[in-house]
Amino acid sequence: MEEKAPTTEEVLPSSHQPHEVSFHTPNRKYFLISGIILIILLIVVGVGIFLKSQGRFHSLSSNGQQQYGQAMQQTSQGNSDPIMQALGCTSQQSCNELCQKPENQAKCQQVFQQYRQQNRTGNYNPNAPLGQSNVDFAMAGNNGDTTTSSLPSCQSNAIFDHLPTDPNAYTGVEALGHMNGQHVLPDQADHVYINMIPGTGSLSQLTTVYVPGNVTLLQVVKKSGYINQNQSTTDYLLEFSPCKSVIFTYDHIQNLNSDIMNALSGKTPICQQGGVHGDCTYQDLSIKLTSGEKIGTAGGPNSFESAFDFGAADIRTKPLAFIDTSQSAQIGVTASSYLHAVCPLDYFTSSLKSTLYSKLTMKNDGANGIPACGTTMQDKEGTALGNWYRQGSHQQYQGLNIQGSLAFAHSNLDPTKGEISTGTDLLPSSDLGAQMLFTPQQNGYINREPSQITSDGHVYCFEGPGGSGHEEHVDMQLTNASTMMVDYGSGACSSSPSLTNPLTYIR
């Protein structure tokens, strides 16, 4: 907080206030006393101004240092060059010192604000005018650690010419927007699921996973110590790209090929404990992989998965129209490019694309505007449909506030069905989240289609089998376009829904 410069009345007690001067009766002693008082006043005011400026400098310096530190935490050392270039400094220390100076505060704040804004769409371009995003590369990882900026430009979308696994090794492909357990919001599932053949004594058979095209492996995350699972289980998330505007992910891959393991052996990962597993991230890789080569395996006796994940983001696409685009809402595997999540099946050659689309498991595709490959974004302004967030809830899953998240959405398995998906702030569950399916109605206050609910003063109720396996209901009221009151109860809805102990969600 800035200190207020003291006034003369605040500095001097009443007995020391300057007397009114009479110029008609000069008095040497009086002038001497007045001179001393004036000198004291000048010293006090000067000290006050100095302290005030020092306080302001300290405030600005701390703010600049904090902003620079936050910006640096969101990128690797190798990717800090664009920020340093924009600031005109050559190292983190020199940038830190530069941003501590008051005269540089405005510039530093603009650069950091632009970095954060552009980082949300997966990019940072120091040559773009401040406040604008003019970029052609994507970022990998939840923190934007690795970029595709060194890769060649994309020439075509038909860039993959090999299936992710053998044609007889998977039963189907589940669309984007999956909500189940800790996948509370549809944008957490910014990937499709390649459902593997059921196994004997395990969830799925051991399945070979292939490189879909000629790509560069950019980042690998080793995940181990899964909570509520076999603590010895280890699998990998791989982030790769053929060209700079797109990035792809495989997740839950094991037994990586020897070339990848040899490359990782000479690298030091950055490790941290996530919400459900420990992560060790190998950043800024440049491992060339050839179309059709074995990248690893999925499923089998050492896995608890029945599918492996395949995700994509393309920063050339129009940003998805999420209502809340704050950092707390950025989730998913390719979170730094989450506004550009796309269906990875669209990047195969025509015949392979048709083969993969024929395997999609969605029923009634096209209902409620949900395409066959699903969507990660269902927000509709002014209605209940879409993502909501409870303030004051701090449960974290890979840096995300899952406990306080809530979605009124349509199922990615059958978009004619409605789905309430929420963290455990609202619905009870032994997992990080729970879901409740219902059949949307076109009128009334029970199971009403969420896209038709507005702030009309009414309380609506939804009922169905919930995460705890028995009948339960959720009451809600949209109090305005950005605020929702919600509560939960066991059993079916009342004929006249009302709120008892509601939680407040916003967006």
Strand partners, 342: 312
The total of structural domains in the chain comes to 3
- Verify that 153 and 111 share a domain, yes or no: no
pLDDT over 70 (residue 145): no
Q: Which of 45-59, 71-85, 256-270 has the lowest mean pLDDT?
A: 45-59
- Verify that 172 and 302 share a domain, yes or no: yes
Angstrom distance (rounded) from CA 462 to CA 433 = 17
pLDDT over 80 (residue 202): yes
127 within domain boundaries = no
Cβ atoms 188, 251 nearer than 8 A: no
- Verify that 356 and 407 share a domain, yes or no: no
Say which amino acid occupies 447.
Answer: N
- Verify that 357 and 394 share a domain, yes or no: no
Report, as an integer, the average pLDDT of 285-308: 95
Cβ atoms 248, 341 nearer than 8 A: no
89 within domain boundaries = yes
Give the single-character DSSP code of 298.
E
Report, as an integer, the average pLDDT of 159-169: 97
- Verify that 104 and 197 share a domain, yes or no: no
Give the CA radius of gyration of the chain. Answer: 29
Q: Residue 341 in 3-state DSSP? A: strand
- Verify that 209 and 358 share a domain, yes or no: yes
137 within domain boundaries = no
50 within domain boundaries = yes
- Verify that 351 and 454 share a domain, yes or no: no
Distances (CA, A) of 144 to 152, 273, 288, 333: 19, 18, 21, 11
Select from 307, 327, 362 the last residue of a domain. Answer: 362
CATH number for the domain harbouring residue 156: 2.70.70.10
Select from 86, 120, 154 the last residue of a domain. Answer: 120
153 pLDDT band, cuts 50/70/90, is: very high
- Verify that 390 and 298 share a domain, yes or no: no
Confidence (pLDDT) at 105 = 61
Angstrom distance (rounded) from CA 406 to CA 336 = 21
- Verify that 358 and 395 share a domain, yes or no: no
43 within domain boundaries = yes
Cβ atoms 372, 407 nearer than 8 A: no
381 within domain boundaries = no
Cβ atoms 175, 139 nearer than 8 A: no
378 within domain boundaries = no
Select from 102, 120, 138 the last residue of a domain. Answer: 120
- Give 107 or 9, the one with higher predicted confidence: 107
Confidence (pLDDT) at 26 = 45
pLDDT over 90 (residue 147): no
Report, as an integer, the average pLDDT of 245-255: 95
- Verify that 102 and 50 share a domain, yes or no: yes
From the list 299, 319, 322, the residue with the least C-alpha distance to 309 is 299
- Whole-number average pLDDT of the chain: 79
209 within domain boundaries = yes
- Verify that 418 and 333 share a domain, yes or no: no
pLDDT over 50 (residue 433): yes
Q: Residue 269 in 3-state DSSP? A: coil
Cβ atoms 197, 206 nearer than 8 A: no
Q: What percent of the chain has pLDDT over 70?
A: 68
pLDDT (tens digit per residue) in 22-66: 333 445 555 555 556 666 655 554 544 443 333 333 333 334 444
- Stretch (H or E) spanning 394: none
pLDDT over 80 (residue 471): yes
Q: What percent of the chain has pLDDT over 90?
A: 51
**What pTM, to 2 d.p., does this model score?**
0.74
pLDDT (tens digit per residue) in 225-245: 776 666 678 999 999 999 999
Angstrom distance (rounded) from CA 133 to CA 126 = 9
| Tokens encoding 477 | 């009221």
pLDDT (tens digit per residue) in 334-390: 545 678 899 999 999 999 999 999 999 999 999 999 999 999 999 999 999 999 998
- Verify that 324 and 433 share a domain, yes or no: no
pLDDT over 80 (residue 100): no
Q: Which of 20-34, 138-152, 485-499 has the lowest mean pLDDT?
A: 20-34
- Stretch (H or E) spanning 61: helix 28-73
Confidence (pLDDT) at 250 = 97
Q: Which of 120-129, 144-153, 318-327 has the lowest mean pLDDT?
A: 120-129
How many C-beta neighbours within 10 Å does residue 310 have? 23
Write out the residue range of the structural domain in which residue 416 sits.
386-506
